Amino acid sequence: MASRVVVIGSGIGGLTAAIALRAEGHEVEVYDQATTFGAIGAGVSLGANGTRLMDRLGLGPALREVGSDLHRIQFHEWRTGELFYEHPMGDWYTGRFGAPFLGLHRADLQQVLLDAFGSDGVRLGRRCVAIDETPDGVDVTFADGSSTHADLVIGADGVRSTVRQHVAGPDEAVFAGMSCFRGLVPVDKVPGGDRMGLTFFLGPVSHLVVYPVRRGELINFVAYTRDEAWTDESWSAKGDASQAVAAFEGFNDTVLAMLGAVEDTGRWALFDREPLRQWSTGRVTLLGDAAHPMLPHAGQGSNQAVEDAAVLAHFLGQPDLPVGAALTAYETVRKPRARQLQLGSRGNAKCFQVPDGPEAQARNERLANLPDMVSWIHQYDAHAELQGATA
């Protein structure tokens, strides 16, 4: 059993892992290159596979307090806004999957995690630049020249992970040929916003995913558009409302009103990476986007990071299990599911954006089976899965 654990990255994955590992009795410290806390102004949705694990960490009440229970799912035609598919969520979803589907402001989720872990356990302004494994532990060096020693290092440092390079060597990010505008709009500026659950507007080369966050006070949108030329991955590439409105010309009035009302929007090119064969070396492992960056089209990147955290903490909490064996067991449980979602998320993009006419019609008819099609994702209980897993 490891004792001093260093987590690189204080995103959703890193903080959840830190909380879960501390609950197993480890001494945990988190390091992040950011100089201040401050999640980007955007939403994130957690399905039952994520929220049931948050419940087990004791974070359920705080998340329900700041989140929005997504009470239904709706699909709309892009030009007219016509509703062509609807299904209840809310009580129906919780009854079927055993935990809620929540829309959250990222800053609210980060605050819940920081309150639980304690922000004094997070060292800011520390960019990890090198990892050296020695027979008795791991040395981590930061860009400011400082260093720390740990029994185990967890790389939760996102899609451009430094720790991933130590574990698996360099690889290329894969551009999806698509970018997105993201933003938050006061609910009263979005026509029908107070009735929105998880809402999709599907067009042939563009689509939007829209849902309430922060107790329904704000509407979060992600507006995806296919564009092979726009590859800037930086959130600092600020967009403005007029760019978003222009990119979604021809969409219905609800969409255009929402995009036009945003005060602060960014444009983000979408990248993932190929699944890794190996997530760990002797005393270093990966978690979340560092291990399995995926496109957002299944809404699962954060959920998978939370599942990783639960499984890793479980194996590292086994008193008689050596660290190497615990990391092998962690990978064995997590790799197939993360891989399936990485590759599946790529496929979903092709399903959201299809030409009008017979192809869209066929896709819309398949939606009748949507609850069954996605139940393998939302029904998954990482703890139940571990009952049968051997280390």
Under rule CB under 6 A, residue 196 binds ligand FAD:
no
Closest by alpha carbon to 5, among 31, 33, 26, 32? 26
Query: Residues 76, 182, 273, 378: which binds ligand FAD (CB under 6 A)?
Result: 182
Under rule CB under 6 A, residue 8 binds ligand FAD:
yes
Residue of this chain nearest to ligand FAD (CB atom) = 301
Under rule CB under 6 A, residue 331 binds ligand FAD:
no
Query: Residues 1, 23, 34, 261: which binds ligand FAD (CB under 6 A)?
Result: 34
Size of residue set near ligand FAD by CB under 6 A: 33
Choose the binding region for ligand FAD from 29-37, 169-177, 309-317, 383-391 (rule: CB under 6 A): 29-37
**Contact call for residues 101 and 6 (beta carbons, < 8 A):** no
Under rule CB under 6 A, residue 31 binds ligand FAD:
yes
Closest by alpha carbon to 309, among 8, 5, 20? 20
Nearer residue to ligand FAD within complex by CB, 40 or 321: 40
Nearer residue to ligand FAD within complex by CB, 79 or 149: 149
Site string for ligand FAD, 274-293 (x = CB under 6 A): --------------xxx---
Which tokens sit at 372? 């069954």
Under rule CB under 6 A, residue 127 binds ligand FAD:
yes
**211 is a catalytic site residue:** yes
Nearer residue to ligand FAD within complex by CB, 115 or 144: 144
Query: Residues 206, 281, 300, 342: which binds ligand FAD (CB under 6 A)?
Result: 300
Phi–psi pair at 266, nearest 5 degrees: -125, 160
Shortest Å distance, C-beta 193 to ligand FAD: 18
Under rule CB under 6 A, residue 187 binds ligand FAD:
no
Choose the binding region for ligand FAD from 170-178, 191-199, 259-267, 299-307 (rule: CB under 6 A): 299-307
Q: Of 31, 93, 211, 224, which is the active-site residue?
A: 211
Q: Would you please indicate which residues are annotated as catalytic (active-site) residues?
A: 211
Query: Contact positions toward ligand FAD, by CB under 6 A?
Result: 8-14, 31-34, 44-45, 127-128, 156-158, 162, 180, 182, 222, 268, 288-290, 296, 299-303, 305
